[in-house]
Amino acid sequence: MAVIVLKFGGSSVADLDRIDRVAEQVVARRRAGFDVVVVVSAMGGTTDQLLTLAQQVDPTPPTRELDMLLSVGERITTALMAIAIQKRGQPAISLTGSQCGIMTSASHSHARIIEVRPFRVLDELEAGRVVVVAGYQGTSYKREITTLGRGGSDTTAVALAAALDAERCEIYSDIEAVYTADPKMVLDARRLAELSYEQMLDLSRHGAKVLNAEAIAFARDAKIAVYTRSTFDPTLPGSVIRTNPPVAPRAATGIACRKGVVGVSLPAGGDAMAQALSLLGACCLLPDFVCAGTDGGVLAVFSKAANVGLESALERALECRAARVEAGLGTVTAIGDIAAHPDLRERCLPVLGSMSHLRGMILTPSAMTVVVPEDRVEETTRALHRALIEDSEVSGDSSGGSSVG
């Protein structure tokens, strides 16, 4: 039988009722004639609760111990899901990442999958069982438990799909598709029926939460098509990410945003800047990006989600008075080559000119990112979406792209 890999995020398995609902879907797919592998995240909020516990003991806990602690969340969901599936008369078994043969690098909290040895999974499928896998985790060559970073369950699902030569990989969440912006934030956001791996990578790397960037990179390299679906209404049209999707290219794909960002303001050039960057590097604090600040200096931008205890670590690292830590920031990114399209620049400049709250900006051939206070992220997202997506479509300008789906 053909293998399918289904991944369900934290909101999809947030409580026992939702786990039961997912179990019904899984059993239905098995009875439709598929071999089914289910990858699950921790129940909604569990990872944050475990992280809070660790930080109550130590604001900057050792990453090895964090991996030991946080990996428990997925194992809880995995066992409960297997029980719910078996209750419906379908044989099932729960497996950890290491039991599935997911081998990773030794980098705790941000490990990368190096190899998947799915022998146990294949044996269980051959025996007629649904295999329920704990996402987000694996084991290093040192036999240490490792985690893959936030959103790592997506990567688990894609990696297993590639190793099992699966027919498809479906990612289920509370948002059924990829949109031109977060639909909870921008009511006029458009669904994107098909995207290339590169477009999805840009969106994910800059804050879009539907799919994890590492998973999309893995899917691109393995040439695995990834489908998004709604857990709560699987009949809704989703999105598919694949090589060369049959849609017209869009100069502006969408607007992504991220909250929970910390900035470090540095003077431009000179010994003070070199000293600050050296201190950050010595503490393994590498910024997501460095851009021009509005005060004439340089702004190094860090994500709190990717760096546990970031603010206290920065305060300790930056002993030079020339550097200033500014918490409570966010980023808003327009995905597309804004600089190469005069019409998009014309629409964008008035928006940027009205941003008295702008903290910094960086422009690359694939994206334009602005740094703003966290409480202005939604306002800025809506303004850029209106200028670069909605106005382009109303005008019928091909460089802006028409709505897809």
Which of 206, 216, 75 is CA-nearest to residue 155?
216
Residues of the chain with CATH 3.30.2130.10: 252-395
Checking if the pLDDT of 118 tops 90, the result is yes
Residue 404 Cα distances to 237, 248, 290, angstroms = 12, 9, 33
Distance separating alpha carbons of residues 131 and 154, to the nearest angstrom: 16
Give the pLDDT of residue 7.
97
Give the pLDDT of residue 349.
86
Give the pLDDT of residue 82.
98
Checking if the pLDDT of 395 tops 70, the result is no
Residue 322: pLDDT band (50, 70, 90) is low
Joined tokens for residue 276: 């600050």
Which of 151, 141, 147 is CA-nearest to residue 41?
151
Distance separating alpha carbons of residues 138 and 161, to the nearest angstrom: 15
**DSSP helix, strand, coil percent of the chain (3-state; round to 5):** 40, 25, 35
More confident residue, 304 or 258: 258
Mean pLDDT of 65-88: 97
The per-residue pLDDT for range 158-195, each reduced to its tens digit, is 999 999 999 999 999 988 999 999 999 999 999 999 99
Contacts of 387 (CB under 8 A, 6+ apart): 347, 348, 350, 351
Q: What angle in degrees, to the nearest 10, is found between the helix axes of 213-222 and 197-205?
A: 160
The per-residue pLDDT for range 139-168, each reduced to its tens digit, is 999 899 999 988 899 999 999 999 999 999
Mean pLDDT of 376-403: 71
Checking if the pLDDT of 401 tops 60, the result is no
Mean pLDDT of 321-350: 85
- Max alpha carbon distance in the chain (Å)? 70
Joined tokens for residue 347: 């629409």
Checking if the pLDDT of 400 tops 50, the result is no
Q: What percent of the chain has pLDDT over 70?
A: 87
The per-residue pLDDT of the chain, averaged, comes to: 87
Residues of the chain with CATH 3.40.1160.10: 3-174
Residue 344: pLDDT band (50, 70, 90) is confident
Residues 257/185, Cβ–Cβ less than 8 Å: yes
CATH superfamily of 252-395: VC0802-like (3.30.2130.10)
Alpha carbon 102 to its chain centroid, in Å, reads 20
Q: Which CATH number fits domain 3-174: 3.50.50.60, 3.40.190.290, 3.40.1160.10, 3.40.50.150?
A: 3.40.1160.10
The H-or-E segment that residue 362 falls in is: strand 360-364
Residues 113/221, Cβ–Cβ less than 8 Å: no
